[in-house]
Amino acid sequence: MNVLLIYAHPEPQSLNGSLRDFIVAHLRGAGHSVQVSDLYAMRWKSALDADDFPQRDTGRRFSPSADSKQAFTTGTQTPDVAAEQDKLRWADLVIFQFPLWWFTMPAILKGWFDRVYAYGFAYGRGEHSEARWGERYGEGAFQGKRAMLVVSTGGWADHYAERGINGPIDDLLFPIQHGVLFYPGFEVLPPVVSFKSGSMTPQRHAELLERLGARLDGAMTDAPIPYRRQNYGDYEIPALTLKPELGAQRRGFALHLEEAQAAGAQAQS
């Protein structure tokens, strides 16, 4: 398979650097093709702004969505953005690897999504009618592809547990896994999360590599997180609220998991 690794850590001699090297070697060793976007090494431009649309109509005020649509449609995006989109088209599996900074991704990776996820590419697709509300949440450009987060955090697993003070790790990652990855059509594998990453012992490091290797081996066969698809009967259209008879025992983000499969498909970390 073709694997794209989007990697966002500033120091190669870090835990994340060692995990990146392991991922690449492990996948290539199994015969897969791997491309890496090392965002810090590429000096990736983080801030989406008017400079991203050099041929835009400067007589109008800048609109992030309208100018993105125009540039995507006319092939006038900046080369860095177009190159990342080509990598996404090529990939069967996309791994996003980053340290959790302030309970989400570093700015440089957020800027990758803000800029690469063009209007017409990752959003703003499909018909809006009484039966469908665009191609999103289970449909879209990345349908048939898979995605997985590989995340390190300095905090303790307990602090990210169901009743932990930071909030459950699955809920903290929901805006990314559901809102950023499932939205344009990825099937999202449960994340690989490492805790207490600042005090990694050789034994814990070895266990992490073993766990990560197994997850890479199963990446095309393991069950994805069973998020409910938007246009297949679970939601009212256009309100897009979950139908009243569904999710009776749930609240919050967990409403958006299919009921039969939900248990056990969250983070194994």
Q: Which residues 49-88 are close enough to bind a second copy by CB under 8 A?
A: 49-50, 61-65
CB nearer to a second copy: pick between 34 and 149: 149
CB-based contacts of 156: which residues, under 8 Å, 6+ apart? Answer: 195, 196
Pick from 90, 128, 99: nearest CA to 238: 128
Distances (CA, A) of 152 to 34, 53, 80: 21, 34, 27
Binding mask 14-53 for a second copy (x = CB under 8 A): x-------------------------x---x-xxxxx---
CB nearer to a second copy: pick between 218 and 238: 238
Are 188 and 146 contacting, i.e. CB atoms less than 8 angstroms apart?
Answer: yes
- Any bridge partners for residue 37, and if so which? 6
CB nearer to a second copy: pick between 34 and 224: 224
Return the DSSP state at 201. -
Q: Which residues 99-128 are close enough to bind a second copy by CB under 8 A?
A: 99, 101-108, 110-111, 113-114, 117
Spatial distance between the Cα atoms of 195 and 203, rounded to a whole number of angstroms: 14
State in angstroms the smallest separation of the CB of 91 from a second copy: 19
Q: Extract the tokens encoding 190.
A: 């449960």
Residues that bind a second copy (CB under 8 A): 10-11, 13-14, 40, 44, 46-50, 61-65, 99, 101-108, 110-111, 113-114, 117, 137, 154, 156, 158-159, 161-168, 171-172, 174-175, 178-180, 198, 230, 235, 238-242, 247, 250-256
